[in-house]
Structures are given as structure tokens and as C-alpha cells.
Chain A
């Protein structure tokens, strides 16, 4: 590490006592650690409220951004007269809406301790623990379900990706996708924030006619009009692991351990 440093630092020997006893060494090390620990703890504790506020604000803003970017939704909202999103709770395993659980408290609770730990072979997206209940947003038009917005998360390249998946009321067609939390490489994996890339997902379908789960990212954009074009989206170049992470997390959350039971109810035409 200590490269020969250009001409600046005079290469005089340290003016400090070169040899000191072990007790002194230990004391200095302890003192440095103590001061550093205090500074660190102080900054974390003092800044925590600001960070939480940012996080919450950002998540809310992203949901609204996602809603605003869905085609036809701003008109819809204007038509209903500033209709707000309905925040509801889904019990993941059964896919039923759970009226007794307050979705707001779910949003606030950061730990997923009350949930099910996934065995590694059922967890390709690196989700870890699946909560029992999950908050979702519903947007209705004239009483019929127009859009459902599901929170999704999974392992990316640099850390956990968190975002939202918007599906049409049929529980099958993607209306939009966004990410509001990630630690991906700027300019590469962080392109999952790029609205142009997110727009590629619009209109894609989750399953083919046989019911097989087909949605995924691929290296080359599928030819327009080809059968694959209905399910496949070109991944981000240079960000193979981020793109794969997005595929896995989407497939997980629309699958049996995620919102699969809920979406199956939607597809079967059950009223949400």
C-alpha cells in the first residue's frame, strides 16, 4: 500500500519514539478504537431518523411514480377524481386479503421475523424469509380491479433489490416495474432504475398458454413479434448478475412461495 509517494511528503524518518513498550501500544490501540467507536455510534444514532424518513419517503414516492408511469392511469385517476390507491394486506400462503391485519404497520415493520424461512433450494432469488402477510396496493376502475402493485425483493449483484411490480387486474399482464432500493454498480446494474429499461417490461406476460412461467431477462432482445417477445426482456448489458437477479425475484414473487396464490385467485376471476 505504501507506494513511494511522490516528491511531496518529505521522507524524513518519523519524529516519534520508534520503540515503545507493549503496554503503550495496547493503550494507544484501545484509545483509538474507543474514540472511533464513539464517533461511529454517534453518527449512526443521530442520523438514523433522517435516513428512515428518506427511506419511507422514497418508497412512497416510487409507488406514486410507478402509478403515474402506468399507461392510462393518470387519466383514470383524473376520471375517478383523484382516486387514491387502496392499501391492503394479503396472506401470502392462501392468497386471501386479510382485513384484520393493518397494512400500514406491515410497511413500518422492518424486520420479517414473523415469517417462514425458505430452504435454499426453494430460494433462487435470495429472499431468505417470506413474511406471512404482505402489503399490496389496489387501483380500481368502476369497481373492477385495474392494477395491483406488489412489493418484490431479491438478491442483486451488490445487495438486495427492492421494488414494486404492477400487474393488470388479470394478474397476468405486467403494467410496470420499478426499483426503489438497491446497491448495484452505478452505470451498470444501477440501470434497473432507468425508466427506459423499466418501460421494456410493460405489456409482458408472466405465463404462456400452457401455464408455464415464461417471464425473464435475456441477453439479446427478442425479435418483435416472435413468441418470446411476449415474455422476454433484454437484460442490462454488463450487468448479468443484476439482470438474473431481477428474473429470479420476479419469478419468485409471482410463484407459489410469493404472491402466486393471490394471483391465481385473480386469474380465476375471483374478486379482490
Chain B
């Protein structure tokens, strides 16, 4: 693999992670990360959808009239998401019941449409596939981290295997109820963004310029 294509694949995993840098796809990251297994399956589903939608969009990019490009893209994405939903219900029945509506909500994940319109419309099939895969893996990585922390500290287990013996089961660990609630994912993702940007200062956004009218008038 040539190094530019390798970079297309690896760049979105940490350096340009869709969640920590672009802050996209947060909603599902909050909802499905209470347990590691659902987080992993959601990451895999999104990676699948994103890779294939990028490929499909790139494939027909020269044929699509500009005026209806977003509609075409969302149609493709919605189709792929429905196919994934059907596949999960056929082959991962138990977990698909846990994920319930959140697989369907991949359609509304800004990340998928964002990569489709922002990257696949202007790049070749191969680069688009790698970009989709990389962004999907970047998303999955953050979900897995958040899901792992939440399951470990919130339920004392990982992938359903008890690691910290909880009080309920006669152990010493008092599970943190906060981590079972969706807002805790906000704290964790916030912490992650802070950690990544401390390590990689170039990701810190420039402060937004204050509009002139809003600037404090001296002497008041």
C-alpha cells in the first residue's frame, strides 16, 4: 500500500478522529456505549455503512447532478443502513435487540453524510473506501474506549465478564451509577478531546473571532 493511501486510512483514526476532532456522531456515541459489546457492534455497523456509502457515492460522483446530490447520498446511506439492520437481525439477533433503533439512526449520523459529501464526491473509489474505513475505525475506537470505561466502572465487567466484583454480587466494588447514564459519555468524550488536544496542540481550534459589535466598548 502506498503511503498516501495508508495515510488516508490512518489519519482519521487519531489525528483527525471524527468524534474527538470534528465532534461528529456524538448522539449515538452517548446512547450505545453503556456496554462494550453494543459499542463494538455499533462501531462495526457504522464502519460498514460508511465504507460502502463512500464507495457508492464515489462510484457515481460524476453522474450525480449537483442539485440533488445530498438527496442521492442520503438515499444510498439509508439503503445501506436498512440492509445492516436486516443483517444484524438475521445474524446477531441478541445484540441487534440491544441496539434497537440506534442502528437505524446511523442514517442521521452527520459523520456518514459528511464524509460522503465532503470526501467521496471529490475522490476516487479507492481513496474513498480507505477514508470511509479509517473514519469508521476512528469512530469505533472512541466508542470502544467510552464503552469499555463505562461498562468497567458502571457495571464492574467487560463484555459481560465480571472483572470488579460488585457489592451486589458480594464483592467490594460499588458500581458508579453515573456511568450508566448517558451524560457520563459526554464527560468521557470531553475528557478524551481534552487529552488528545493536549497531546496534539495543532488540533486546538483558533478562538472564534469576536464580532465587532460584540466587543466590549472601552470605558463602559
Residues of A within 8 A of B (CB): 1-3, 5-10, 12, 14-20, 24-25, 28-29, 32-33, 36, 39-40, 43-44, 47, 50-51, 54-55, 58, 158-159, 181-188, 190, 196, 238
Contact B66 A14 (CB under 8 A): yes
Complex: A39 Cα to B63 Cα, angstroms: 20
Interchain CB contact under 8 A, B65 and A25: yes
Interface string of B89-114 (1 = CB under 8 A from A): 11101100111111000000010011
Residues of A contacting B63 in the complex (Cβ-Cβ under 8 angstroms): 16, 28
Q: Which of chain B's residues have a CB closer than 8 A to the CB of A24?
A: 65
> With A10-B122, A44-B86 given, is the CB distance from A32 to B72 under 8 Å?
yes
Residue ID in chain A nearest B128 by CB atoms = A9
B32 within 8 A of A: yes
Q: Is B123 engaged at the interface, CB distance under 8 Å to the other chain?
A: yes
Complex Cα spacing A164 to B60, Å: 50
**Contact between B98 and A3 (Cβ–Cβ < 8 Å)?**
no
Find the A residue at minimum CB distance from B62: A16
Contact of B118 among A5, A40, A54, A182 (CB under 8 A): A5
B21 at the interface (CB under 8 A from A): yes
Q: Contact flags (1/0) for B55-84 with A, using CB distance below 8 Å?
A: 000001111111111111001101100110
Q: Residues of B at under 8 Å CB distance from A?
A: 8, 11-12, 16, 21-22, 24, 31-32, 34-35, 38, 60-72, 75-76, 78-79, 82-83, 86-87, 89-91, 93-94, 97-102, 110, 113-115, 117-119, 121-123, 131, 168, 180-182
Contact A186/B100 with A3-B24, A28-B65 known, Cβ cut-off 8 Å:
yes
A187 vs B63: C-alpha distance when bound (angstroms): 44
Q: Which of A28, A44, A50, A187 is close to B64, meaning CB atoms less than 8 Å apart? A: A28
Bound together, the chains give a CA A150 to CA B96 distance in angstroms of: 25
The answer to whether A16 and B118 have CB atoms under 8 Å apart is: no
- Tell me if A186 and B31 are in contact (CB < 8 A): yes
Q: Is the CB of A29 within 8 A of B122?
A: no
